[in-house]
Chain A
Amino acid sequence: MCLGIPGEIVEILSDRPDLAMVDVSGVKRAINIGLLEGESVVPGDWILIHVGFALSKIDEVEARAALDFLESIGQAYEDEIAALRESMIEEG
């Protein structure tokens, strides 16, 4: 119940502006977007869904930043391993 799922907005229903058709892993479902007041919600936006309601928009810039950090950790790790190898070569 507490596990939210991401979904992509496909369509805002014109007769019910508090509802949106959302694609959740290939399944289309009407989701209530009434809690996202004051935020523009357009097709292509991603939202986090909880018991039939969108609780929050998923911020793509922030998502990218977190992934970049994870990449950078990978890179730093590679660099360190490389440095370690080099230093061992010098010792030998």
Chain B
Amino acid sequence: MRFVDEYRDAEKARMLAARIAALCEPGRDYKFMEVCGGHTHTIYKHGLEDYLPEAVTLVHGPGCPVCVIPMGRMDDAIHIAEQPDVIMTSFGDMMRVPGGNGSFLDAKARGADIRLVYSPLDALKIARQNPGRRVVFMAIGFETTAPSTAMTVLRAEAEGIENFSIFCNHVTIIPAIKAILDSPDLRLDGFIGPGHVSTVIGCRPYEFISRGYGKPLVVAGFEPLDLLHTVYRLLAQLAEGRSEVENQYSRVVPWDGNPKALRVINQVMELRPYFEWRGLGFISQSALRVTERYAAFDAERIFQIPGGRVADPKACQCGEVLKGVLKPWECKVFGTACTPETPIGTCMVSSEGACAAYYNFGRFSRERVREATRR
């Protein structure tokens, strides 16, 4: 397909790999974090680590929205789904995410009406078709999906659909990156910037990273050559002593983002003072909720949610994986107690989660071999 196949040329990948190796200073190690789970998916699917020299390590970041939903929020969602007349609608990725009280799949088995949708507009359609039921959309995602949720709420209002609401769990990427930068556990040399979030927020919001923290960030596309090209550009910046925000994905990401998308988010949603991220804890101003003006579409206001905090299972090391401190296979339950069928942690659920991507593509990358031989 156009805009896909041309970025998958193995020959060009090898040439880029040679260029990348040539840019590495002898004796120096480089650690780059790919913030976005979509990138994690590409890296494992195409075995990109095998193209990189030993000196370059890719570290997975917190950018998988399914992975960061805390247990307590999942329990709240299930509580809503189990209220009378409710149809809960959700993206497929969310179905297996465990809460303290099981997952959507478990709730469905207990009799709750929980349906998969591809788009929030599909959820609105279900509301239109079922006027006697209360249809709730489990809204998750970063700034990539928030505008779609907001547009759907605006559409519901315009059409006067009163039996539709959203359970808003949208999170924002910048505070998460900041939390990682401020955490003492990790030394990073640069960032592979999220591609699709940036279509909405643009490239400017990352400037605090290049200016304040002196680390380069290159916004990247999702094909293998995009990612190799991005690593090349990060290394080129370091070699030239620069730390700037660059846009490798300019075919899709405008420097200033999508103003209309930002406007609809701000129209329908506002920042929460704080929000809990699974594994990362509470991060201030890191998530969105529905504004007072659209209260009629806010499931959090319509239904009394328990709003409890549930500690992650003891065995779970998702927090370390989300912060890039641990590689998936270093978690004690990886691939044994925790698999995509019976996930203990969220990173094993979504195809964008580091543990699932690693598990599904089952790669014994050179890195894993390196780690194993070190012990």
Residues of A within 8 A of B (CB): 1-4, 6, 8, 25, 32, 34-38, 46, 48, 50-53, 55-56, 58-60, 62-63, 65-67, 69-71, 73-74, 77
Contact A59 B251 (CB under 8 A): yes
For residue A63, which residues in chain B have a CB less than 8 angstroms away from its CB?
3, 251
Contact A1 B222 (CB under 8 A): no
Question: Shortest distance in angstroms between A19's beta carbon and chain B's nearest beta carbon?
Answer: 10
Among A52, A56, A67, A77, the residue within 8 A (CB) of B18 is A77
Contact A73 B251 (CB under 8 A): no
For residue A77, which residues in chain B have a CB less than 8 angstroms away from its CB?
15, 18-19
Assess whether B2 is interfacial by the CB under 8 Å rule: yes
Contact A1 B93 (CB under 8 A): yes
Among A2, A37, A56, A65, the residue within 8 A (CB) of B65 is A2
Among A36, A62, A74, the residue within 8 A (CB) of B251 is A62
A32 to B145, CA, bound (A): 13
A25 to B2, CA, bound (A): 9
A52 to B36, CA, bound (A): 20
With known contacts A36-B260, A48-B199, A59–B151 Cβ distance under 8 A:
no
Contact B251 A58 (CB under 8 A): yes
For residue B142, which residues in chain A have a CB less than 8 angstroms away from its CB?
2
For residue A70, which residues in chain B have a CB less than 8 angstroms away from its CB?
9, 12, 16, 225, 229
For residue A25, which residues in chain B have a CB less than 8 angstroms away from its CB?
1
Contact B37 A2 (CB under 8 A): yes
Give the interface SS of chain A, mostly helix, strand, loop or mixed. mixed
Contact B4 A6 (CB under 8 A): yes
Question: Shortest distance in angstroms between B96's beta carbon and chain A's nearest beta carbon?
Answer: 13
Report the interface size for chain B: residues with CB under 8 A from the other chain. Answer: 58
List 16 interface pairs A-B (beta carbons < 8 Å), by A numbering: A1-B352, A2-B36, A2-B65, A2-B144, A3-B352, A6-B3, A35-B151, A50-B148, A51-B119, A56-B199, A66-B250, A66-B251, A67-B6, A70-B229, A73-B19, A74-B11
Contact A73 B352 (CB under 8 A): no
With known contacts A6-B2, A32-B151, A1–B145 Cβ distance under 8 A:
yes
Contact B229 A3 (CB under 8 A): no
1/0 contact trace for B234-269 toward A, CB 8 Å? 000000000000001011111000111100100000
A69 to B119, CA, bound (A): 36
Contact B258 A55 (CB under 8 A): yes
Assess whether B289 is interfacial by the CB under 8 Å rule: no
Assess whether B121 is interfacial by the CB under 8 Å rule: yes
For residue B253, which residues in chain A have a CB less than 8 angstroms away from its CB?
56
Residue of A nearest to B9 (CB): A70
Assess whether B216 is interfacial by the CB under 8 Å rule: no
Among A6, A50, A74, the residue within 8 A (CB) of B145 is A50
For residue A6, which residues in chain B have a CB less than 8 angstroms away from its CB?
1-4
For residue B352, which residues in chain A have a CB less than 8 angstroms away from its CB?
1-3
A38 to B1, CA, bound (A): 27
With known contacts A51-B118, A55-B200, A59-B252, A2–B151 Cβ distance under 8 A:
no
Assess whether B343 is interfacial by the CB under 8 Å rule: no
Assess whether B135 is interfacial by the CB under 8 Å rule: no
Assess whether B122 is interfacial by the CB under 8 Å rule: yes
